[in-house]
Amino acid sequence: MNARHIAAAIALIVAPDPGNLFAQIILRVASPELTYSSSPRGNGMGGAEATIPASDAAGTIANPGQLGLFSLDNLFSASTYTPKTKMLPSLDLPYTMSVSALNAGINLQYLLSLPFNAGIGVGYSRTYVDRGEFLITGPSGPTPIGTAAWNESYENYSAGLGLDYYVRLGIGMNFKQITSRMPGIRGDGTFGELTATPSATDFGILMDIPVPDIVTGVSGMPLSIAKGIDPFLDVSLCYVKLNVGGEVKYA
């Protein structure tokens, strides 16, 4: 599992004896749901939830640095996809996805006397992708002898730190537990359900630069276009390293 993407491999299974042919082509993908956008707001913005500060709880999945900025101004938020949102509807595939997330944070100014704003936050999120079940047949005929599930899920346990001193900086980490189930060829040569339970870590930084506020703070003069009309210009910068972990092994 590399820093940015999950490796995918296609295995072509060829059996010399047609009587023992359980499956001809098996598509093996190591937790592809880790690359899906999990935020409804982010989906509507073309997957930009990692870069733009937001109070959407699911944004922490794309960039845990969101949790740090969230803690400066918010106490609690929760978000969810409509249960079992259909994926790839144009292809009429039975794939569904559900996401739930919640964040809690507190500005430390409420508890401590600090010369600048600082906040801490924690969060939890879960993503589940269901691709249905495969029927397992034996070498003697097409009669099903079992089923194999194909689903992917992961849980994030998140922590974040926010700082506000001229610029707003959010730093965060996701600790991720993954469960992947898919049909495939077992070690004994039979076709059935394979399971992998790897773990991974995300690290994210999100910086929000409120340009008019900085100019006003440095110059000591309010930056106004006219009475009651103030300019708004925020620049956002981010760095995210997702899904850092070891090998994904199915058994």
Judging by beta carbons within 10 Å of its beta carbon (0-12, 13-18, 19+), is residue 17 exposed, middle or buried? exposed
| Residue 43 neighbours by CB distance under 10 Å | 16
Residue 19 has pLDDT above 60, yes or no: no
| Residue 185 neighbours by CB distance under 10 Å | 18
Q: Pick the residue with more confidence: 10 or 55?
A: 55
Residue 8 has pLDDT above 80, yes or no: no
- Residues facing residue 147 across a β-bridge: 135
Instruction: Return the pLDDT at 119.
Output: 95
Residue 14 has pLDDT above 50, yes or no: no
| Residue 138 neighbours by CB distance under 10 Å | 14
Residue 5 has pLDDT above 60, yes or no: no
3-state class (DSSP) for residue 187? coil
* Residue 84 Cα distances to 100, 152, 183, angstroms: 11, 13, 21
6 pLDDT band, cuts 50/70/90, is very low
Q: Pick the residue with more confidence: 49 or 40?
A: 49
Torsion of CA 138, 141, 143, 145, to 10 degrees: -10
Angle at 219 between CA 214 and CA 222, to 5 degrees: 75
Instruction: Return the pLDDT at 45.
Output: 73
Judging by beta carbons within 10 Å of its beta carbon (0-12, 13-18, 19+), is residue 92 exposed, middle or buried? exposed
> Could you tell me the pTM of the whole model?
0.75
126 pLDDT band, cuts 50/70/90, is very high
Residue at 186: amino acid letter: R
Q: Do β-strands 96-107 and 85-86 pair in parallel, antiparallel, or remain unpaired?
A: antiparallel
Residue 1 has pLDDT above 60, yes or no: no
Most confident of 25-34, 134-143, 193-202, 230-239: 193-202
pLDDT for 136-186, tens place per residue? 777 777 777 777 788 889 999 999 999 998 899 999 999 999 998 888 777
Provide the greatest CA pair distance for the chain: 85
Identify whether the C-beta of residue 1 lies closer than 8 Å to the C-beta of residue 243: yes
Instruction: Return the pLDDT at 87.
Output: 64
22 pLDDT band, cuts 50/70/90, is very low
Return the minimum-mean-pLDDT range out of 129-133, 152-156, 216-220, 238-242: 216-220
> Can you tell me the distance from the alpha carbon of 93 to that of 91, in angstroms, rounded to the nearest whole number?
6
Q: Which residues lie below 8 Å from residue 115, measured CB to CB, with a gap of 6+?
A: none
Instruction: Return the pLDDT at 35.
Output: 67
Residue 25 has pLDDT above 70, yes or no: no
Q: Do β-strands 191-196 and 96-107 pair in parallel, antiparallel, or remain unpaired?
A: unpaired
pLDDT for 206-220, tens place per residue? 999 988 787 777 777
Identify whether the C-beta of residue 171 lies closer than 8 Å to the C-beta of residue 241: no
Torsion of CA 189, 95, 201, 118, to 10 degrees: -170
pLDDT for 52-67, tens place per residue? 888 889 889 989 999 9
